[in-house]
Amino acid sequence: MFRKLVWFAVIYTFVVVVVGAYVRLADAGLGCPDWPGCYGELTPHHAQDDIARAVLEQGGTHGPVSLGKAWKEMFHRYIAGGLGLVILAITVMAWVRRRELQQSPLLATGLLALVMLQAALGMWTVTLLLKPVIVTLHLLGGLAILALLALLALRQQAPPRIAPVIRSRLRPWALLALLVVIAQIALGGWVSTNYAALACVDFPTCHSEWLPQMDFRHGFQLVRDLGMTAAGTHLSYDAITAIHWTHRIGALVTLLVVGGFALWLTRSPGLARYGIALLCVLLAQVTLGIANVLGGLPLLVAAGHNAGAAVLLVTMVVINFALHRGLRSGD
């Protein structure tokens, strides 16, 4: 039961992460500008009058508030709340059955603490009006929950049989590849939360240049409002370009490091299937990234790119777990 519940939580978390990305990309993050309810109500249906007044004040449904956007935002909150209850159940079971499971309940407890922090970040995302650093941390928090749940699920399975010499040789490179993926996901989150995905609409160049004019100082200021510098002036297009261009360079580094590691895995006994899976996910993710630029950021493709990042992260967690917990080939 515990193993099934944990694997259910992994799938559930993936859905929550993808839906959250869809809400952000659909510009529905402020569909309900308060928290945890919607204009003080449980559902957008009960807040229809307030939403209608807000739509009139903003001059139509093209702004951040509309009934449809409110439902998208609240649906994400509902399923995120359900995930919190699932992880609470996992934590309780981990403590009550810790002797039977023969595992420390600390990982499950840490997950519960992370969910509570994630809820606070979700609240601040709304109340602080989509401040980029908060929204990015909220994205990373969701993916961290997914990764840790995947690790907890893997702990319930028998580890694979991998020769010790292969494990020791590949471990440092697996960790490096994981760190590169995490860094690239953080850069992708910064692109998304600053609405910089279409700062460069050509590929592989940017504004028909390999090295366009950029403003890194303001683009990577963490403590500032959306679309503004820390000094309160409007964020320049050069700053947005710097954010986008850096993510492209990160994608190239990720392709080389993670792709090279995947090819190495395909030539390692007992690990070929991991390498093939990693290579497929990586190439699909790069393809989706390019399609976002050339296609003008189609909503489903952009959401798929976020889903691809989650799958790539989980794949790296699986590989690192296999290399750190793999049994000796003779056992």
CB of 6 within 8 A of CB of 145? no
Q: How far apart are CA 309 and CA 247, in angstroms?
A: 13
Neighbouring-strand partners of residue 38: 41
Closest to 197 (Cα-Cα) out of 304, 296, 307, 303: 296
Q: How far apart are CA 115 and CA 83, in angstroms?
A: 9
Residue 57 falls in the annotated catalytic set: no
Q: How far apart are CA 300 and CA 321, in angstroms?
A: 31
Q: Which residue has the tokens 């996992």?
A: 90
Burial class (CB in 10 A: 0-12, 13-18, 19+), 171: middle
109 C-beta neighbours (distance < 10 Å), count? 14
Longest dimension (CA), the chain: 72
- Helices of type H across 59-131: 67-96, 98-101, 106-127
Closest to 213 (Cα-Cα) out of 249, 196, 237: 237
Q: How far apart are CA 25 and CA 115, in angstroms?
A: 22
Residue 63, CA atoms < 13 Å, CB-side half-sphere:
14
Looking at the annotation, which residues are catalytic? Answer: 73
